[in-house]
Amino acid sequence: MEVIQLLISGVSQGCVYGLIALGFVLIYKATEMVNFAQGDIMMIGAFIAFTFINLLGWPFIWGFLAAVTVMGLLGALTERLLLRPMIGEPHFAVLMLTIGLGFVLRTIAGERWGSEPKTLDLPWGSAVWRFGDVTVGGDDLAVVGGTLALCGLLYLFFRFTRLGIAMQAASQNQLAAFYVGIPVKRVFGLVWALAAVLAACAGVLAPGGVIDPNIGFIGIKAFAAAIVGGLGSLPGAIIGGLLVGLSEQFAGRYLWPGFSDVSAYVLLLAMLMIRPEGLFAAMQQKKV
Amino acid sequence: MRFIRKTSYAQDIDLFKHNGQRFWYGILALAVLLAPLGLDRFLLGEMALVYIYAIAGVGLMLLVGYTGQVSLGHAAFLAIGAYCHAWLLNQGWPFPLALAAATGFSGVVGIAVGIPALRMTGIYLAVATLAFLVIVEQVLSHWVSVTGGFRGMPVPKAELGIDLSAPVAFYYLCLLALFLSMVAALNWLRSPTGRAMAAVRDSETSAESMGIHIAYTKTLAFGISAAFTGLAGGLFAHKIGYLAPDAFTLATSIQLLLLVVVGGLGSMHGVIYGAIFIGLLPQGIALVRDAAPPAVSQIPGLEAGVFGLILVLFLIYEPDGLYGRWRKIRLFFEEFPLYRRATHKRQKTYLRTERLR
C-alpha cells in the first residue's frame, strides 16, 4: 500500500517536473539556449494566476486562461528584449543571463506579492478520495490529467499545425528553415511564449497550490529531469520528470533522511556518467 | 601610442611589457602595502574580503576564462577548503600546514570531479558541477561529527607566533596569498600547460590535432582551479569566523561567476576588477537602501535582484566586462584625435553548436 501511495505522489510531483522540463526542452531544441529561469517563470505564472483568481475573484477557468495568455506575452517579450541580442553568443553567456533573470524575477515577485506563502483557490481544493489505505488528492488527479492533456495538445500542435511544423523545422536546422521562408526569429519568440505557457500551467497545477517567490528553485530539479530524459527530446522530458519525482519519493522513504533532496542530482550525475546524452538521445556524433 | 622595440626573446613572455607598467604596478604595490596606515578596521576587513574573492576568482578565471569549462559548483570547493582548514586547525595542526593541506585537498577533490567531467561540455558540465555542489551541501549539513551540521563549526584563530586574525595582520596575510596566487597563475598561463588550456578553450578539435592531451589539460585545470578556490576558502573561514552550510550555496557560486563575467572573461586584470565589484557591491547597495524611500528599501531579497540585473546588463551590453571597457577607454586616449568607434564594433558571432559532437 505504501508503495502505491509513494507511486501516486511521485507521479504527481514528477508531472510538475516534466511540465517545466518540457519548457526547457522546447527552448533548447528550437534556439539551443538554456533557460535556467524556467522555474522562476513558473513561479511568476502561479502568482499571476493567484492575482486573477484570488485577488480579482475571477472564476478559475477564466483566471487560468488569462494567466496563461499573460505568461505567453511575457515569454515572447523576454525573448525579444533579453535573448534576441544574445543570438550567436556562447551557451555559457545565455546560461548566466537566464540565471540573472531568475534572480530578478524572484525579487520582483517578492516586491509585488510578498514573500509569505500563498494558497491558490483551486476548484478541486483539498478533495481527497480514499481507496483502502491509499489516498488520492484532487490535485494529484488534476496535475496528471493536465499533463496528459497538455502532452496530447502539444502532439497535435507539432504534428498538424503550420506553426508547429515551422517550429520543428526551425529547431532541426535554422539555416534551412530560414531559406524555405520560415520567419525563424518570430518562431523563436513563439517558442519562448509556448514555454512560458507550459510553465504557467505547471505553476497552477503543482500539487498543494502553495506559492511563494522561492518555488522556482524546483526548476533546477526539473532541469536535471530534462537532462536525464535527454535534452532535446519532448517525451524524454516527461519521462525524466517522472523518474526524478519517483526517485525523490522513494529515496526519502527508504534511504536516509535528507537524501530526497539530493536524489535528483545523484540520478543526474549517474546518468551523465553512464549515458551523457540522456535516455532519448537527440545528439549525434560529428565526424571531423 | 607606445611602440615597444623588442631586443630579446624574453621580452615576448615578460610579465611587464615596459617600464611604464613597472612604474604603475610599483605604485599600486606601495598603495596596498601602506593601506593599513590610512584605513580603519572596517575598510581593512572589506579589502581583505576583496582579496579573498580575488583568490577564488583567480581559480574560477583559470577554469572558465582560460580553459572554457563552466562550473556552477565552485562554492563547493570554497566550502571544502574552509571546512577542511577549520577542521585541521581544530585537530591542532599549525596554521600554514592546515592551509596548505586544505588547498591540496580541494585540488584533489577538483581532480576527482574533473575526471568524470571530461565527458561533458558546456551546459552538461555546468549542471554536473551544480549537482556536485548540492551533494556537497547535503554532506556538510548531515555529516555532523565533522562539520557540526546546521549548528555550524567555530573557526579557531589563526596564529603563527603572532595573532594572524587581527585586522592588520589578516590584511597582510590575504594580500600575500593573493600576490602569490596571482604570480603563480600568471606564470602558469605563459607555460606550455597554460597555453594548452587556451587552445582547449578555443577549439578542442584543433588542440587535439596539435598534440595536446585534452583529458590531462582539463583535469589539471579543474584541479588547479579548485586548489585556488580552496585556498580562498581557508582564508574565508577566518573572515566569517563561524562555518555553516548556508554560507556556501548556489548563490555563492553565482557570485563567483558574476565576478569573472563582470571583471572580464579571459583576463587576470578582470579578476581584480570583478573582486572589487563583488566585494563592495553589498556595501553600495546598503548605502543606497538607506537613502532610498521605504517602498524600495524594504523589498526582500533586493541584493540578489540587483546582482542578477547587473549580470544581465553586462552580458548583453559589455560581454568583455569591466576590463574590456577599460581597454576601450584607454585606447580612446592613446589614439586621441584618431580614435575610431568602429575599432570595437562587435563582430557577428556564430554559435558553435553542441548538438553535433
Tens of pLDDT along B264-291? 888 889 999 999 998 888 888 888 877 7
Over chain A, what HEC string results? CHHHHHHHHHHHHHHHHHHHHHHHHHHHHHHCCCCCCHHHHHHHHHHHHHHHHHHCCCCHHHHHHHHHHHHHHHHHHHHHHHHHHHCCCCHHHHHHHHHHHHHHHHHHHHHHHCCCCEECCCCCCCCEEEECCEEEEHHHHHHHHHHHHHHHHHHHHHHHCHHHHHHHHHHHCHHHHHHCCCCHHHHHHHHHHHHHHHHHHHHHHCCCCEECCCHHHHHHHHHHHHHHHCCCCHHHHHHHHHHHHHHHHHHHHHCCCCHHHHHHHHHHHHHHHHCCCCCCCCCECCCC
For residue B53, the model assigns a pLDDT of 94
Tens of pLDDT along B312-347? 898 888 888 888 888 888 888 888 888 887 777 777
Is A264 inside a domain boundary? no
B69/B118 Cα distance (integer angstroms): 10
Select the more confidently predicted residue: A288 or B1. Answer: B1
Q: How far is A101 from chain B (nearest CA, A)?
A: 6
- Residue B295 clears pLDDT 70, i.e. is over it: no
Q: Do B131 and A261 touch (CB under 8 A)?
A: no
For residue A287, the model assigns a pLDDT of 43
Tens of pLDDT along A5-51? 888 888 888 888 998 898 888 888 888 788 888 989 999 999 999 88
Q: Do A100 and B130 touch (CB under 8 A)?
A: no
For residue B239, the model assigns a pLDDT of 87
Is A147 inside a domain boundary? yes
Contacts of A92 in chain B (CB under 8 A): 64, 70, 122, 126
Read off the pLDDT of each residue in B159-177 and give the average, rounded to a whole number. Answer: 83
Select the more confidently predicted residue: A94 or B351. Answer: A94
- Residue B36 clears pLDDT 60, i.e. is over it: yes
| Mean pLDDT of successive 10-residue stretches along chain A, which has 288 residues | 83 89 86 86 91 86 91 92 82 85 88 82 76 78 87 89 88 84 89 92 80 83 86 84 88 75 83 77 50
Chain A residue nearest residue B201, CA to CA: A90
Contacts of B310 in chain A (CB under 8 A): 100
Phi/psi region, residue B176 (left: phi>0; alpha: psi -120 to 50; beta: rest), is alpha
Is A226 inside a domain boundary? no
Read off the pLDDT of each residue in B136-145 and give the average, rounded to a whole number. Answer: 84
For residue B3, the model assigns a pLDDT of 79
Q: What's the full length of chain A, in residues?
A: 288
Read off the pLDDT of each residue in B103-115 and give the average, rounded to a whole number. Answer: 91
Task: Please tell me if residue A93 touches chain B, with a CB cutoff of 8 Å.
Answer: yes
Instruction: Please report which helix (H) or strand (E) contains residue B229, including its range.
Output: helix B214-240
Chain B interface mutation, best of A99, A215, A274, highest count of B Cβ atoms under 10 Å: A99
For residue A286, the model assigns a pLDDT of 45
Is A47 inside a domain boundary? yes
Mean pLDDT is lowest, of A159-168, B118-127, B165-174, for B118-127
pLDDT band at B230 (very low <50, low <70, confident <90, very high): very high
Q: Judging by beta carbons within 10 Å of its beta carbon (0-12, 13-18, 19+), is residue A247 exposed, middle or buried?
A: buried
Is A251 inside a domain boundary? no
Is A252 inside a domain boundary? no
CB atoms within 10 A of CB B292: 14
Domain ranges of chain B: 24-249
Percent of chain B with pLDDT over 70: 94
For residue A284, the model assigns a pLDDT of 52
For residue B352, the model assigns a pLDDT of 63
Q: How far is B103 from chain A (nearest CA, A)?
A: 25
Chain A interface mutation, best of B60, B307, B351, B352, highest count of A Cβ atoms under 10 Å: B351
Range of the domain at A90: 2-214
Instruction: State the pairing for strand pair B162-163/A210-211.
Output: unpaired
Q: What angle do CA B192, B194, B198 make, to 5 degrees?
A: 115
Is A62 inside a domain boundary? yes
B99/B181 Cα distance (integer angstroms): 14
What is the total count of domains within chain A?
Answer: 1
